[in-house]
Amino acid sequence: MGSACPRFMSANMMIALFEPEIPQNTGTIIRTCACFEIPLHLIEPLGFSLSDKYLKRSAMDYNELAHVKRHSDWNEFVQSTTSQRLVLVDVKGESSYLDFEPQPHDLFIFGKESCGVPAAIFNAIPNRISIPMRTGRSLNLAMSVAMIISRFQM
């Protein structure tokens, strides 16, 4: 990929990472969101420091182009996103992302790489979708985010 990103205005969708654990995944997602001008929410605690060398290596210089908002915890995130419809992307989601009808300003939430989101959060979000795949398998978080962006970018 060259240094220039395509110029899309995709603020009609947003991405949120719930307590991400792997800096390389988050860096790649920062880069992807920057390329498509999609706001990214990071819900703490993070499993790494934002000064982590692996995060910086994978995000490259796209950090400057990204619109990243940090939230101290789940409650603060929910209070700040009252005008968006929350959509959880999870291996246990009831419907395929291929059948899901997006709405403007949907906020797609992805859980921790190791375990997703806690049951209380899972149950609190009525819109739950999945990327169909073999039972017991899962994709890399950055790949999953890219698939959702490519499907729902408006």
Interval 112-152: pLDDT, tens: 999 999 999 999 999 999 999 887 777 899 999 999 999 98
What's the CA gap between 22 and 113, in Å, rounded?
7
pLDDT bin (cut points 50, 70, 90) of residue 39 is very high
The amino acid present at 24, given as its one-letter code, is: Q
Q: What would the two tokens of residue 131 be?
A: 């990327």
Domain boundaries, the chain: 13-152
Quote the pLDDT of residue 4: 47
User: Considering the domain 13-152 in this protein, what is its CATH number?
Assistant: 3.40.1280.10
Q: Do the bridges between strand 106-110 and strand 127-130 make them parallel or antiparallel, or are there none, so unpaired?
A: unpaired
Backbone angles phi, psi at 12, to 5 degrees: -75, -10
Cα-based distances in Å from 101 to 6, 52, 64, 127: 25, 37, 32, 11
HEC readout, 91-122? CCCCEECCCCCCCCCEEEEECECCCECCHHHH
**Is-contact 88 123, C-beta < 8 A?**
no
Interval 10-37: pLDDT, tens: 458 999 999 999 988 999 999 899 989 9
Interval 53-100: pLDDT, tens: 766 665 556 667 788 899 999 999 999 998 899 999 999 999 999 999
What's the CA gap between 17 and 116, in Å, rounded?
10
**Is-contact 153 8, C-beta < 8 A?**
yes
